[in-house]
Amino acid sequence: LTSLTDEALIALDTLGERASGLFSPSLRLGVTGLSRAGKTVFISSLVHNIVHGGRLPLFEAQKTGRISRARLEEQPDDAVPRFQYEDHIDALVRERIWPESTRAISEMRLTIEYESASGWNRLFSAGKLSVDIIDYPGEWLLDLPLSGKTYQEFSAEAFEMAQSPERADLSAAWRDLSAKVDPNAAADEMQARQLAEGFAAYLKACKADDRALSTLPPGRFLMPGDLDGSPALTFAPLPVSTDSRAKSGSLHAMMERRYEAYKTYVVKPFFRQHIARLDRQIVLIDALQAMNAGPSALIDLERALAEILACFRPGRGSILTDLFARRIDRILIAATKADHLHHESHNRLQQVVRRVADQAIKRADISGASIEVLAMAAVRATREGTVKQGRETLPVIIGTPIKGETIGDETFDGKTETAVFPGDLPSDIDSLFRPSEGENIEPLIRFVRFRPPKLEVTEDGVKLSLPHIRLDRAIQYLIGDRLA
Ligand code: GDP
């Protein structure tokens, strides 16, 4: 019955939106990726560049001068926090610091007025497109598989994963704690809290550890949004068998009820209200970090990306069933931060992204949407140059390292520019994915965190918008065709 209701609600939502879309065309663009992938920076730069007429030669509508106006408008969903665009731009442009990262869902509406390229379209379309940009943590997507699992199945899988060789040490404290409790004993709030905290600490440790392990559900244990401390988040797996039934009043029963509440009040509404309504999606990945961590981190990134992509595959047995007619028709998988490499390596970085994406697409068995990959920098914090070393000329990147960053024994003050030779990517991309002996490899790329760039000012005193690398390709693919 529950799933019928979900489907009916999705269908109703879609119908309502379709009807209103006839009068005011809109496009819902989802922006996701695991934490620190670059979502906040991407959205801020995209909007800034469109609103301020940035340099976007591959964004066709803008290049041909057909955009008459682009402005922010009130977002359609009153219950979703607004994306703090002004604060983020203030940080990036005025303070030259990176903005606060995504912690929960937020939304903003960018309305573009344009002239259609074809006379036919000019007759029949309003010449106005509202792009609703929805920013949300990729961690939350990893909860979708929970919707089909009982509490007992969830528990069994969680313990199995926790005992795996790569996680055993990180989960030891939580497993010890769990071994001491009796699931059949009377429910106790303090005990539930201790277990939940122990479990959450273990999940966070997996993420923080430089083994760069992929994320495990429940996603809100890592990114609680506004639910921190609520009962729906105060549960943990218990050592119970998959066919066991909870005794009424027991700790087991309490945990099971909360797990079900998490699914009902957190997971399902999120998918129904937000994911099922998206038209386009960009998934940002931090390919540079994974490459630096070595082959197993790259393979892990593949797995995480496959899990994320699977959420956009409407299919039987999930909440996103065939009933919801609205489907994501374009997905862009993008590695941002390409400005950490010299442009000679950008195509190779894109090949790495393609390789990660191809494997993930295969695993996720996704079809029906067109999928593109891209290596880009939403904000370009560096420029390029060359440095002579003996007889060799080395390509370098130049930027202002963030205060406290170090190269060798030099520590930076946040004001001084420096040139860095970032290193090259190998021509044999596959070699990056081959497990190496002992895995203790040198980082491939010298990775220095730079401050956001100083904006160029034209002769008449106009500040140009945020510089980028290939952001225009991303924009063209994600919204360009809707401005035809
Ligand atoms: P989120 O967690 O996905 O919202 O990630 P953010 O957008 O906050 O990005 C995380 C960090 O990555 C930022 O604080 C920057 O240090 C870095 N970053 C993100 N995008 C770029 C980019 O285009 N260029 C550079 N150089 N750094 C970036």
AA identity, residue 196: A
In sequence order, what are the beta bridge partners of 72? Answer: 110
Q: Looking at per-residue confidence, does 484 or 320 come out higher?
A: 484
How deeply is 312 buried, as exposed, middle or buried, from its count of CB atoms within 10 A (0-12, 13-18, 19+)? buried
Query: What is the predicted pLDDT for the residue at 330?
Result: 93
pLDDT in tens, 80-93: 999 999 999 999 99
On the question of pLDDT at 241 being above 70, the answer is yes
Beta bridge partners of 399: 418
Residue list, ligand 1 pocket, CB within 6 Å: 33, 35-41, 98, 101-102, 336-337, 339-340, 377-379, 381, 449-450
- Give 421 Cα–ligand 1 centroid separation in angstroms: 21
Residue 324 has pLDDT above 70, yes or no: no
The pTM assigned to this predicted structure is 0.90
Nearest CA to ligand 1 atom 27: 337
Quote the percentage of the chain above a pLDDT of 70: 88
Query: Could you read off the pLDDT of 426-435 as tens digits, one per residue?
Result: 888 888 888 7
Q: Is the dihedral of CA 333, 405, 443, 346 positive or negative?
A: positive
ipTM of model over 0.95: yes
Expressed in angstroms and rounded, the spacing between residue 99 Cα and the centre of ligand 1 is 8
| Bigger pLDDT: 166 vs 69 | 69
Q: Looking at 74-78, 116-120, 314-318, which range is the least confident one?
A: 314-318
Mean pLDDT, all residues of the chain: 88
pLDDT for position 228: 83
Per residue in 16-52, pLDDT (tens digit) is 665 655 556 899 999 999 888 999 999 999 999 999 9
**Is the omega angle on the peptide bond into residue 218 within 30 degrees of 0, that is, cis?**
yes
pLDDT at 165: 84
What residue spans define the domains of the chain? 2-136+274-380+471-483, 142-263, 383-439
Per-residue pLDDT, 312: 86
Residue 441: φ, ψ to 5°: -95, 155
pLDDT digits (tens, 9 = 90+) for 345-383: 999 999 999 999 999 998 888 877 899 999 999 999 999
- Tell me the CATH number for domain 2-136+274-380+471-483: 3.40.50.300
Q: Is 135:83 a contact under the CB 8 Å cutoff?
A: yes
Per residue in 115-146, pLDDT tens?
987 777 766 666 899 999 999 999 999 898 89
- pLDDT of res. 439: 53
Residue whose CA lies nearest to ligand 1 atom number 7: 38
